[in-house]
Amino acid sequence: MDFNMKKLASDAGIFFTRAVQFTEEKFGQAEKTELDAHFESLLARADSTKNWTEKILRQTEVLLQPNPSARVEEFLYEKLDRKVPSRVTNGELLAQYMAEAASELGPTTPYGKTLIKVAEAEKHLGAAERDFIHTASINFLTPLRNFLEGDWKTISKERRLLQNRRLDLDASKARLKKAKAAEAKATAEQELRVAQTEFDRQAEVTRLLLEGISSTHVNHLRCLHEFIESQTTYYAQCYRHMLDLQKQLGSSQGAIFPGTFVGTAEPASPPLSSTSPTTTAATMPMGPSVADLAPPGEAALRLEEVAPPASGTRKARVLYDYEAADSSELALLADELITVYSLPGMDPDWLIGERGNKKGKVPVTYLELLS
């Protein structure tokens, strides 16, 4: 008990000495040992790394889980060291609602069939999102958290200890200056040597930890590459699922809305005449060949040879912006009106679009056909 009281009194005396030294430094009444410039730069880099790691971590969590209530729930589960329950993604929930709606409204109707197709696509999107969240959490969020909850706490602890050692060192310097008697000076000098040794040792420990931030950057860089890889995979899967859905909807649009693909009916036979076959062949206007109307990536369309048919042109409203892949296509702007028509042998997923003196192929799925 006596030992504990002596230790408690000693600790209280050290704390009081540090508090006095700290206060006098703040008021400019005591000298302060400054760290070298390189050490200060290491401290600044460590602080910056910690601050930006926190911001990146928090915003990535928002990206992966926009719902703040869900984030709080997941945080509590992690703190309680319990497994986070599986959560249905928004895409999967939407797929469920669409499938139930199709079942109730009629799965054999055009609307019901389309709901089923879209529900299946949304289900795939939700599953892809779930995989992305899981992969990103393991490969990116976990290493960032490990740094903040592990390495950074160790660095902070050693920095506080270094601060205490510095206060002890400067307090010893102050006592040495105030000492008058030879015995007091000798005692103060001994205390100063001990304080200097402890400060130097702690400064070296802290320096090594701060220099380890370089390794942290390398580790976070690798994790960032893995995050981008998983994000790229996720968006590629989403694009593939939506492209498949677009093709399914585009191929069934003509059956659902009769007459959607304008000009697809067989052209009327030319009237019989006494004109010889040779003359007829010379005077009949020839439409472009199938090769001329090839889809993107095949033979280029010779637009100068394309003329609208005498009948079968229609107006169409553009649903979405479309950037032409090459000179054979017509770029589109959402909500603009264009004239469209088809030609014999043309891919049913494409039409010829005209706007002023410009013409080119346009995808049917980007159009709402009017009168």
Return the CATH number at 328. Answer: 2.30.30.40
Q: How many domains does the chain have?
A: 2
- Of the residues 207, 228, 256, which one is the last residue of a structural domain? 256
Return the amino acid letter for 8.
L
Residue 32 is predicted with a pLDDT of: 81
Same domain, 52 and 177: yes
Query: Does the pLDDT at position 80 exceed 80?
Result: no
Same domain, 209 and 355: no
Domain boundaries, position 318? 314-370
Q: What's the rounded mean pLDDT across residues 28-54?
A: 91
Q: What is the residue whose two structure tokens read 């490969």?
A: 139
pLDDT band per the 50, 70, 90 thresholds, residue 302: low
Same domain, 318 and 243: no
Q: Which residues of 234-269 are buried (b: 16+ CB within 10 A; e: fewer)?
A: beebbeebeeebeebbbeebeeeeeebbbbeeeeee
Q: Among 66-75, 113-122, 279-288, whose mean pLDDT is lowest?
A: 279-288
- DSSP track, 121-164: HHHHHHHHHHHHHHHHIIIIIHHHHHIIIIIHHHHHHHHHHHHH
Mean pLDDT of the chain: 81
Q: What's the rounded mean pLDDT across residues 334-355?
A: 88
Helix (H, G, I), strand (E, B) or coil at 317: strand
The token pair at 350 is: 């494409």
Asked if residue 67 belongs to a domain, the reply is yes
Nearest Cα to Cα of residue 231 among 343, 322, 140, 151: 140
Is 347 within 8 Å of 295 (Cβ atoms)? yes
Return the amino acid letter for 41.
S
Residue 348 is predicted with a pLDDT of: 84
Is 99 within 8 Å of 124 (Cβ atoms)? no
Asked if residue 359 belongs to a domain, the reply is yes
- Of the residues 221, 239, 256, which one is the last residue of a structural domain? 256
Residue 277 is predicted with a pLDDT of: 39
Asked if residue 334 belongs to a domain, the reply is yes
pTM (2 decimals)? 0.61
